[in-house]
Amino acid sequence: MYDITIIGCGVIGASIAYSLSAYDLNVLILEQENDVAMGTTKANSAIVHAGYDPEPGTLIAKLNVRGSEMMEDLCKKLSVKYNRIGSLVLAFSEKDKAHLEKLYDNGVKNGVPGLQIISGDEAREMDPHLTKTVVAALYAPSAAIIDPWGLAIAEAETAVRNGAELRCNAKVTGLDQKEDFLVLHTTAGDFETKYVVNAAGGWGHQICAMTGKEEWKAAMARGEYYLMDKSSGSLAKHVIFQCPTEKGKGVLVAPTVHGNLIVGPNATPVDDPYSRETTLAGLDEVAEASRLSIDGIDLRQCIRNFAGVRAITSESDFIIRPAAACPRMLHVAGIKSPGLSAAPAIAEYCVEQLAKMGVTLTKKENWIETREQIRFKELSQAEKEELIKKNPRYGRVICRCETITEGEIVEAIHSPITPCSIDGIKRRAGAGMGRCQGGFCGPRVLDLIAKELKKSPFDVLQDGEGTKLLISETKGGAAE
């Protein structure tokens, strides 16, 4: 019998698991994919929003600002890449300037620090590649960029180190309500639990329906992106937004914590959270919009296109409340943008709500709240030499684009949550993140996974289920 079961291990589920792992609780995390951070968490803008956009008084506003305040210290504790670079919301007309005033007023009411409305010339002094059509901007110094899947993985790993149990490939298919506990039916078996947290993202409405009552309707949207080569990384010094519309915050241009430039997203309504395809029309829309903000974007320098689906619902605010027809379930749904920014505050708020629902919270005496990750290329020369003396595998570079060593990859393979795919290593260690997108290092990473986990290379996946790379052997015995 588990005390609490969390359904879903994106950044929200992982944040909740991390926070709950500080207490004497038997926590289970159920994830339907073969790894954590496989949904919206690995396909988003990677931004920590300042908090000027949400309407004052909403849960989104409260948790966005609080999450932004918490994020930098959390990332330091967990060795997650984070950089507070600030953001600019651009105005191209008098109508846009009036909207900046509204955002400024929102931000002041929400408690966002340091907001300023500046002229177009002042904005270009801060970010020289802004177009001449920019007439004003809202500057928010507290905005930041982050590694979103890195945060989710770090929190999930730390929760596991603290005793939480993670079950991947465990899709929830139904539930039964007993007198003082719940039974969750999954593709990995049945699990008894006293309480459930529904953090299933785009599938949250399906989990809600299992309680016998539909509380909201899904209204998901797909957003498409360009990820640019590092040669384009200096085109923006801040997160560059345009004035938001009814579709969302619009197309942004921003540096990433890995040194690239990200451009996107658009917003296309979809019915399926797996609708992650990119389209010519969608990417053209993103390209056209981005050129309003930044001069000199050469989209031929794109190294990858991708899309993510936002878990939008028919309710405008975050949904964090006990289920209407299941008092032992806490819904954490509709966590659209700025959900990543709010993640640590959402977790904090969920712990408070669970306590109100009857969960007994007793702090652990020896809670592990930190995690260290070695990034070889960021070490000094002396530190590199000392590390190689201790472990020669750190002296062998596997990913040339990102200077990722064999030692880092092996460390990732044997981490608390064992990755089963090449992209699982990519998200943990960074191998394959560079210009060639794994064209050189991919086969070597596959070989390392197979050898370290003592499994056939034919069973190593590129990413999710059904993505095997090797299907047969040649007559000479080589895989193909």
Residues near 415 by beta carbon (within 8 Å), at least 6 away in sequence: 157, 428
Q: Give the per-residue SS3 of 197-253.
A: EECCHHHHHHHHHCCCCCCCCECCEEEEEEEECHHHHHHCCCEEEECCECCECCCEE
- The secondary structure of residue 55, as a DSSP letter, is P
The tokens describing 159, both together, are: 């929760």
In terms of DSSP H, where are the helices of 315-377? 339-357
Catalytic residue among 49, 205, 238, 331: 49
Cis peptide before 338 (omega within 30 of 0): yes
Catalytic, 49? Answer yes
Rg (CA), the chain: 23
Residue 274, amino acid: Y
The tokens describing 78, both together, are: 């967990």
The tokens describing 190, both together, are: 């049945």
Contacts of 246-252 spanning 24+ positions with Cβ under 8 A: 247/221, 248/221, 248/223, 248/310, 248/337, 249/53, 249/337, 250/289, 251/285, 251/286, 251/289, 251/290, 251/293, 252/45, 252/47
Q: Which residues are catalytic?
A: 49
